[in-house]
Amino acid sequence: MITRRKFLSGAALAPAALRQALWAQDTPQDSAANRPALRVSARARAVHARAFVFDAHVHALDREFYHGGGMGDRTTEGQWDLPRAREGGVGAFFLSVFIPEEYYPSRFETKQALRRVDHALRQLELNRDQVELALNADDVERIRAQGKVAAVLDIEGSYDLDGDLGVLRDLYRLGLRSAQVSAHNWNQHYADACCSPAQWHGLTTHGREVIREMNRLHMVINISHSSDETISQVIDVSDGPVIATHHGLRSVNNIPRNMPDWLLKKLAAKGGLMGFQIGSEFHYPPEYAYITAQRKRTFWDTSSIPDQVKGKTIYEVDRLVAPQFPMLGSHVPDSVSMTVDNWVSVVDKAIDMVGEDHVAFGSDFDGGPTLARGMRDVHDLPLITDAMLRRGYSEERIDKFWSGNLLRFFHQVTQS
């Protein structure tokens, strides 16, 4: 029988070249990571150095869970590690405890959630000189004052397809402070996702109970990956604001993972936030069309999963999914690649609609985003600050985007 220990001993020996080869299947273009850094103005560097980045969505530990190593180690693989994050100005982040769809058909999702939370807590303890678990906004500020990075545990995917409230409370006791409503791109048994056929047309009666219990626990309700009906109903049911941690605008790129304008306005009207995912697939139609044509499928297509995992143990599922982590973007030619200014223009559009108090940053680093031309990884975040200054953003607006809005929201949810 394959155990996790045996799995990891094999996974640690798996060459990074295999994972890079799987990534490179999309197109043979050169990796952005091998390109020279773009120049950043002295003013932008100064503004960014003073700013504090609070990232609403990071796949900070997928690589370490499946392949070993520590989150405090500098690596050349992927888009994020703690040393590079600190260089990019990151002072706090939502640590995505990712439970992908491969664990759902055999109902491994709760066991996998517990394994991933255990792994995250052990990594935080092993790297306690650099990073610390934050349970509320006061913790974030205290941890930052100590010169460390604050991490908020967030479940992406399903902790239990049935939405058992006892399981939710147990995870809360372990330190979880944020959870996704949908089962990533699949429906929960109580809530519809963006990218699966509708079963419930939003929330079931039990789904409403899940939202109310999250309110009672003062947990962050993450509506990214939920269907439009689900998002709208969550906003109605919740007694406080909610967040789409890593999202985009459907009026910019018409895909189900993005949010229509009317729904963004409804989200903002109740004090909610949209965290802007950093990848081109969400925000730049020419690049999305190119990547989709190369893959011959949409990035959210999971239709083959049930057959792939049928009859497998949880450790065999680990081995099946391990090569995809860390999830990197696609190789694309410059002729169709998004620029940093293209990306900031999408944030502009949202600000024009709902104001500067309802936008935030939710990168999705190492979760699959194809980065803007010239952006290699998290330490290149000053490029965004530079683009914002070129567009006339005030330093106050830049501060709100990078951290102020999310910190205010996190305080309101966890401590009000």
The confidence score (pLDDT) of residue 416 equals 79
The confidence score (pLDDT) of residue 27 equals 39
The confidence score (pLDDT) of residue 21 equals 40
Q: How would you write the pLDDT of the chain (416 residues) with one tens digit per residue?
A: 555 555 555 444 344 444 444 433 443 333 444 556 678 999 999 999 999 999 999 999 999 999 999 999 999 999 999 999 999 999 999 999 999 999 999 999 999 999 999 999 999 999 999 999 999 999 999 999 999 999 999 999 999 999 999 999 999 999 999 999 999 999 999 999 999 999 999 999 999 999 999 999 999 999 999 999 999 999 999 999 999 999 999 999 999 999 999 999 999 999 999 999 999 999 999 999 999 999 999 999 999 999 999 999 999 999 999 999 999 999 999 999 999 999 999 999 999 999 999 999 999 999 999 999 999 999 999 999 999 999 999 999 999 999 999 999 999 999 97
Rounded-to-integer distance, Cα 90 and Cα 54, Å: 6
The confidence score (pLDDT) of residue 17 equals 41
Maximum Cα–Cα distance across the chain: 60
Q: Are 225 and 195 in contact, with CB atoms under 8 Å apart?
A: yes
Hey, where are the domains in the chain? 4-415
The confidence score (pLDDT) of residue 38 equals 79
Domain 4-415 fold is TIM Barrel (3.20.20)
Helix (H) or strand (E) holding 152: strand 149-157
pTM greater than the 0.85 cutoff: yes
Rounded-to-integer distance, Cα 31 and Cα 385, Å: 23
The pairing of strands 90-99 and 131-133 is unpaired
Q: Is the dihedral of CA 149, 394, 262, 336 positive or negative?
A: negative
Rounded-to-integer distance, Cα 59 and Cα 157, Å: 12
The confidence score (pLDDT) of residue 34 equals 55
Helix (H) or strand (E) holding 170: helix 165-174
The confidence score (pLDDT) of residue 26 equals 42
How does DSSP classify residue 401? I
Q: Are 414 and 136 in contact, with CB atoms under 8 Å apart?
A: yes
